[in-house]
């Protein structure tokens, strides 16, 4: 399961690294979609550790 927690600052990096699992919401923050092979790479690139796998 993929989750973005409330610390997300909306930088967009996770969406660039892994669009299969993340998308930007109308609130300007990332939202999780479904698990995928690139989700861990997105977790590693997040500057505020907002991604939980």
CB of 29 vs ligand SF4, minimal distance in Å: 6
CB of 41 vs ligand SF4, minimal distance in Å: 11
Interface with ligand SF4 includes 32 (CB under 6 A)?
Answer: no
Interface with ligand SF4 includes 25 (CB under 6 A)?
Answer: no
Interface with ligand SF4 includes 30 (CB under 6 A)?
Answer: yes
Neighbours of 46 (CB within 10 A): 19
Torsion of CA 25, 30, 33, 39, to 10 degrees: 160
């Amino acid at each position: 399961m993929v989750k973005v927690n409330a610390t997300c600052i909306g930088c967009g990096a996770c969406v660039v690294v892994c669009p299969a699992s993340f998308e930007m919401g109308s609130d300007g923050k990332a939202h999780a979609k479904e698990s995928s092979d690139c989700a861990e790479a997105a977790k590693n690139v997040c500057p505020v550790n907002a991604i939980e796998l």
